[in-house]
């Protein structure tokens, strides 16, 4: 009950005024699409195209290089998920720069952690906490869980029960320390193998770059949708991941106000 009560207010704010008939938080079929950002490899998502969503944001890591944050903000980017840590011993070398400059530009931001199943949840939580100061966290922290077949150091795939137990331990540690319930980022195959039907009281950020999430995540209500990795963002050189928030501008403003508060303060 304690865990559920902690998430009721932000979740209620996010859901307020939104339709419950769709898999996302917003029915958008009646809104005329308007292209906000260019894409070098655009996909046809059908009637529920991400351009119909009002709130767009980016996720970035060191590979984005130098960023003109004022230009990014003026282009219409509403939020930024910024890579912070990986496993138990890696820090993105531009994390500290990026979050400080995003904050200075007035862009709500959150750090994310790429999870390795070759080290324990506590080792990784310790590493994240030691490298991500509380002031770096405007939005809730993100746990990035996906299979990493290209890794040179960790390709271990534990059973689903172990996956979920480790995720829960890691998220509990972060929630206790930062006072914010983590967001779960995942991919289609990892979600299918481990997460379908679980973690219903967490916000999900889902990757789906070819089809709408209601197709690829048929049982999941999502808060954020990563719809492309080939986006063009003014102020950033090269391709950039672009995401949308599921709700309206009002939903977004209310949610940001709610989650920006530290429950532990």
In degrees, rounded to 5, the angle at the alpha carbon of residue 109 between the alpha carbons of residues 139 and 24 is 65
Could you identify the residue written with the tokens 């509990």? 172
Of 24, 39, 59, 144, which one is the catalytic site residue? 59
Pair 56, 63: CB distance under 8 Å: no
Backbone angles phi, psi at 90, to 5 degrees: -125, 135
In degrees, rounded to 5, the angle at the alpha carbon of residue 257 between the alpha carbons of residues 255 and 262 is 105
| Cα–Cα distance, 73 to 37 (Å, whole number) | 13
Q: Is 81 helix (H, G, I), strand (E, B) or coil?
A: strand
59 labelled catalytic: yes
Of 146, 172, 193, 214, which one is the catalytic site residue? 146
| Cα–Cα distance, 94 to 110 (Å, whole number) | 14
201 labelled catalytic: no
Report CA 226 to chain centroid distance, whole Å: 8
Active site residues: 59, 146
């Amino acid at each position: 009950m304690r865990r559920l009560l902690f998430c009721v207010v932000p979740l209620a704010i996010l859901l307020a005024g939104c339709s419950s008939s769709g898999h996302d938080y917003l029915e958008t079929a009646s809104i005329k699409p308007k292209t906000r950002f260019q894409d070098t490899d655009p996909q046809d998502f059908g009637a529920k195209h991400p351009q119909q969503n009002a709130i767009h944001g980016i996720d970035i890591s060191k590979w984005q290089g130098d960023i003109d944050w004022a230009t990014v903000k003026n282009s219409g980017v509403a939020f930024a998920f910024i890579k912070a840590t990986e496993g138990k011993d890696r820090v993105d070398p531009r994390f500290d720069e990026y979050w400080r400059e995003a904050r200075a530009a007035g862009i709500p931001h959150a750090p994310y952690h790429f999870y390795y199943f070759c080290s324990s949840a506590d080792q990784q939580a310790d590493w994240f906490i030691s490298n991500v100061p509380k002031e770096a966290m405007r939005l809730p922290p993100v746990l990035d869980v996906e299979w990493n077949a290209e890794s040179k150091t960790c390709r271990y795939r534990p059973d689903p029960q172990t996956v979920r137990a480790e995720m829960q331990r890691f998220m509990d540690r972060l929630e206790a320390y930062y006072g914010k319930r983590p967001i779960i980022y995942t991919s289609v195959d990892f979600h299918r193998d481990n997460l379908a039907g679980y973690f219903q009281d967490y916000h999900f950020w889902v990757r789906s770059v070819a089809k709408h999430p209601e197709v690829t995540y048929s049982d999941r209500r999502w808060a954020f949708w990563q719809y492309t990795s080939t986006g063009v963002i003014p102020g950033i050189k090269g391709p950039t991941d672009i995401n949308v928030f599921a709700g309206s501008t009002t939903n977004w403003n209310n949610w940001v106000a709610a989650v920006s508060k530290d429950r532990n303060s």
